[in-house]
Structure formats: C-alpha cells, structure tokens
C-alpha cells in the first residue's frame, strides 16, 4: 500500500455486557486515502470509529494513531492527537441550543485565539463550501436532515483536520440528498486533502469514494481491498455480502479464464 | 440455591454502587482540577450559568422564603405566647431561617428548579453524542460544560440563601408585627441581640456545601446517563435519571445538613 499507516488497529477486542462486538480487529488507514468500512447494521462498524477516536477503550489490543497507542498515553497527549481529527457523527451531534454559526464557530472559539472577525470569515467560507449560505442564524431543529449533516461536516472541517471520520454520512437521507453529500465530500477532500474513514452501508454508491473497502462481519474485519478487488474477491464472506447488496458480479477473467 | 442467588444479587448491587460512587468521586476531582487549570474561562460562560441557575431561581426562592417566614412567625407566636415570650419571636424566626431553613429550603428549591435542568441538559447532550463531539474536537467537557455550572451554583447558592433569609425575616415581620400586633422594636431587637456571626457563618458554610452537592449529583447523573443500570437511553432514560438526581441530591442535602450542623455546633 502507501508507506506507513497513520492509524492501525491491532487485534482489538471489545465486549459490551454479554455481547462480544469486536473479535480481534485489524485495520490500517493510510495518509490521504479514503477507507470505507461496510457491513450490515449492528455489526460494530461505529464501534471501530469510536475506538480510533478514543471514546471507547478496547478490552485488549492496540489502537495506534501516528504510532502512539491512544489507550496508553496521557489525556493531554490524547487531546493533542484529537486536534488532527474531524468527526461527522451519524446524527450530526450539533449543539441544539446553538445556531448554525455558533456550532461551526465553536472549535475556532475554544481552540484558537482568532478574533471574532476572522472567525466570521472562516465560518462563512466553510458554510459556503457546504451550500449553506444564509443559514447562519438557524437552529439545528429548523434544518432538514441533509442540512444538519452538512453543518456537522462544516464543523468537522473548520480547523482543517488531517483525518476526518464519517459515521453513516448518508443514513436517513433520500437519494438526491445522499448524492449532494457525496458531492460535498469530493469537493472538500480535493480542497483540503484529508484522510477519510467512512462507515457506511450505502453499497455500491460508497465504493465510488473509496480507495480501500473493508467488510465488518460478525465482529471481524475482512481484508482491506481496493473497491474493484473487493467486488471480485474470492473471500466467501465478502462475496456473499457483494452478492447480497449488488447482485452477482461478472468477472471475465474468472469466468472466461 | 436461593441463598446463593440472593448473595449474588446483593454482591452485584454492592459492586454497582461502589463503582458509581468511585465514578462520581473521580468526576468531581476532574471538574475541580479543570476549574483550577489554566487557561481560565470566558466570563460570559460563567455569567450565563449564574443567570440560568441563580437569577432565574430568585422568584421561587422569594416566595418560598416569604411563606416560610410567615408560617414560622405564625407558629412561633402562638407557641411563645404560652410561655409569655412573644418578644423572642424575631430571634426565633431569624435563627431558624439563618441556621437551618434558609440553606436547606433554598438548596431543595434550587435542586428542583436548576438541578433537574442541569441533569436533563447534560443527559440529553450525552445521549445525542454532543459530549462525544466535544471530546473529538479536543474540547474538554469538564472544562467547557461542567466547570462553569459548578462555579455558578456554588456562587449562587449563598446569595440565594441570603435572599431567602431576608425575605423570610420580612415575612415573619408582616405576620408577627402586622397581623399579631407584636411590637416592631421587640421583633428586631431580639434578633439583633441573639443572632451572632457564627449563625450566619454556619448558614454560609451550609449553603456552599449544598450548592456543591446539588451541582455535583445532578451533573454527574446526567453525564453518566449512558451507564445507568436500568438503561439511560432516550427520553425515558433522561427522565428517569433526572428524577433520581433530584431525589438523591434532596436526601444528600438533609443528611449532610445533620453532619455539618453537628460539626459546626
């Protein structure tokens, strides 16, 4: 693949109550690439992201970000590592008592010493990038699902993070809004060049965004493959998933020798 | 078999509550550490919380104080008259309010009005991943959300208690002097003679401690809503945890009232 991975999960196990959610996960994420984790609902895909973000600690195994095991470092170091992250949560996780502007401005106000005029310029620019001009004074409850996701993305990108996590970015959106979301993703990644980790079950559309695709099945991540290889993988678990979600894939090399 | 299951259940409960107590202890230490840690706060964060927790509680504290003072004067006058000591009504009302009822009732009122709101707000933030979002933005929720609420409650509580005491004394005056015909000078002079600085000091210490109890219990309950044994998810989970926060802090106020009184007397 492309040099050293910036994020690595090594043999990560996690149990919630009686449920063994992650059963020895291994995953590598590479700089500037988009890795998509697919799988059916309830397989533990979002748990993988929460482990990388340091929101959940594994029962065993290592989560390395830029070579540091985030479960062995101090809170201060973890905070430092998190300054590289931007996260779009499944439900956007906007602060409901703040306006759109205040939501996007929050990381700038709390993490930088920028003046209010500078903050206004940056926030306006990010909202424009998301096609959200004129929504500054609205509250999250006054926005549609798609707009909320785009505000969440604007907030995630406002400090130009190096790695952006997307937890089900198109869940709950209709086809047109999902396509909008993908367009915004393309635009922002080309402009900002971030590494992306996407959890999704929007197959096959999500393959268009991916450099690597990996399947979460019964608490285990299958190998990480480029989308074309993923679709024609001989791995029976991946093949079952592909056939279930996309129908039978015709591979001329295999069929015709 | 029954005994085995009983001891298992008891052990399970015991471990759960020890775990919860430990979690709340660490939570308090973390908030206090964040209060003391640089950089300090934007003044607007604290003043906003003082307004929400303190200023908006004035109305309810005003009415509770007035009627508590009035009923104290009514009961006190009729009791003291049996011993021919009506002149002591002022000091009886003032001492009861300053040492005991002022801090306790103010804390109970703040628990009901602001404590429940703190718990529900933080619980909803937890359930809608807003707290996770803060952590991922490298903004410590202990500093950003909790520390201003802690400071505002601890600052507001003695001030609200003082308002309660003053309004209560005036309520007692209205009933004692206005309704029962007690001499105005006797009401205030007995108060002046019997109320000492130690009484006021006890009231202030109590109100500071109760302020800490209210904000600690209510915010910790909301913050750990997702770890609740009966399931802290959704609106029902937040409502259940809010009820339990109000009950727990009210009981804790009364229990600590006894211990603080016995220490300071």
pLDDT tens digits, B27-69: 999 999 999 987 777 788 899 999 999 999 999 999 999 999 9
Give the 3-state secondary structure of residue B239: helix
Q: Could you tell me the two tokens for B161?
A: 């208690």
Nearest-CA distance B145 → chain A (Å): 12
**Could you report the per-residue pLDDT of B175-226, keeping only the tens digit for each?**
999 999 999 999 999 999 999 999 999 999 999 999 999 999 999 999 999 8
Provide the pairing of β-strand A7-16 with A19-29. Answer: antiparallel
- Specify the residue for token string 């509550």: B17
Residue A249, pLDDT score: 62
pTM of the predicted structure, to 2 decimals? 0.86
Q: Is there a contact between A27 and A8 (Cβ–Cβ < 8 Å)?
A: yes
Q: Indicate the pLDDT class of residue A58, thresholds 50, 70 and 90.
A: very high
Taking the mean position of all CA atoms in its chain, how far away is CA A95? 20
Partners of residue B129 in chain A, C-beta under 8 Å: 89-91, 93
DSSP state of A248: P
- Closest partner residue to B129 among A85, A89, A110, by Cβ? A89
Cβ distance of A82 and B140 shorter than 8 Å:
no
**Could you report the per-residue pLDDT of A74-131, keeping only the tens digit for each?**
988 999 999 999 999 988 999 999 999 999 999 999 989 899 999 999 999 999 988 8
Q: How far apart are CA B112 and CA A53, in angstroms?
A: 36
Cβ distance of B136 and A107 shorter than 8 Å:
no
Nearest-CA distance A95 → chain B (Å): 6
Q: Indicate the pLDDT class of residue A256, thresholds 50, 70 and 90.
A: low
Cβ distance of B135 and A55 shorter than 8 Å:
yes
Cβ distance of B138 and A83 shorter than 8 Å:
yes
Q: How far apart are CA B157 and CA B150, in angstroms?
A: 11
Give the 3-state secondary structure of residue A12: strand
Chosen from A75, A83, A87, A113 to mutate, greatest number of chain B CBs within 10 A: A87
Partners of residue A83 in chain B, C-beta under 8 Å: 138
């Amino acid at each position: 693949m492309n040099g050293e991975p910036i994020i690595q999960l090594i043999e990560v196990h996690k149990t919630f109550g009686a449920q063994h959610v992650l059963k020895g996960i291994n995953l590598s994420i590479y700089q500037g690439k988009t890795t998509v984790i697919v799988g059916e609902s309830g397989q533990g895909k979002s748990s993988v992201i929460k482990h990388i973000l340091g929101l959940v600690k594994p029962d065993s195994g290592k989560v390395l970000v830029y070579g540091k095991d985030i479960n062995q470092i101090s809170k201060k170091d973890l905070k430092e590592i998190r300054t590289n992250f931007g996260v779009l949560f499944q439900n956007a996780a906007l602060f409901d008592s703040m306006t759109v502007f205040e939501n996007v401005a929050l990381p700038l106000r709390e993490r930088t010493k920028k003046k209010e005029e500078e903050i206004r310029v940056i926030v306006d620019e990010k909202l424009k990038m998301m096609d959200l001009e004129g929504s500054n004074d609205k509250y999250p409850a006054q926005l549609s699902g798609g707009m909320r996701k785009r505000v969440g993305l604007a907030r995630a990108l406002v400090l130009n993070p190096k790695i952006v996590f997307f937890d089900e970015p198109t869940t709950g959106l209709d086809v047109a809004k999902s396509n909008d979301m993908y367009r915004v993703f393309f635009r922002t990644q080309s402009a900002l060049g971030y590494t992306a980790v996407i959890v999704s079950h929007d197959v096959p559309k999500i393959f268009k965004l991916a450099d690597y695709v990996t399947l979460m099945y019964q608490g285990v991540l299958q190998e990480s493959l480029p989308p074309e290889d993923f679709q024609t993988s001989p791995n029976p678990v991946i093949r079952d998933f592909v056939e279930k979600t996309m129908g039978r894939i015709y591979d001329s090399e295999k069929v015709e020798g | 078999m029954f005994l085995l299951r009983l001891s298992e259940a008891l052990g399970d409960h015991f471990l759960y509550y020890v775990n919860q107590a430990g979690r709340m202890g660490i939570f308090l230490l973390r908030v206090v550490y964040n209060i003391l840690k640089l950089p300090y706060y934007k003044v607007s964060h604290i003043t906003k919380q003082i307004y929400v927790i303190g200023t908006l509680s004035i109305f309810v504290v005003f009415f509770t104080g007035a009627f508590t003072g009035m009923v104290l004067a009514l009961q006190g006058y009729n009791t003291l008259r049996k011993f021919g000591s009506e002149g002591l009504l002022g000091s009886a009302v003032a001492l009861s309010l300053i040492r005991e009822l002022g801090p306790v009732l103010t804390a109970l009122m703040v628990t009901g009005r602001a404590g429940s709101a703190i718990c529900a707000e933080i619980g909803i933030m937890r359930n809608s991943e807003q707290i996770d979002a803060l952590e991922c933005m490298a903004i410590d929720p202990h500093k950003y959300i909790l520390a201003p609420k802690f400071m505002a409650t601890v600052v507001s509580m003695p001030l609200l208690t003082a308002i309660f005491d003053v309004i209560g004394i005036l309520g007692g005056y209205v009933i004692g002097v206005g309704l029962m015909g007690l001499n105005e000078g006797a009401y205030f002079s007995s108060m002046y003679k019997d109320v000492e600085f130690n009484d006021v000091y006890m009231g202030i210490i109590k109100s500071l401690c109760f302020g800490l109890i209210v904000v600690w219990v209510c915010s910790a309950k909301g913050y750990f809503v997702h770890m609740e044994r009966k399931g802290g998810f959704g609106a029902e989970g937040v409502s259940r945890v809010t009820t339990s926060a109000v009950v727990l802090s009210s009981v804790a106020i009364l229990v600590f009232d006894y211990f603080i009184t016995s220490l300071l007397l």
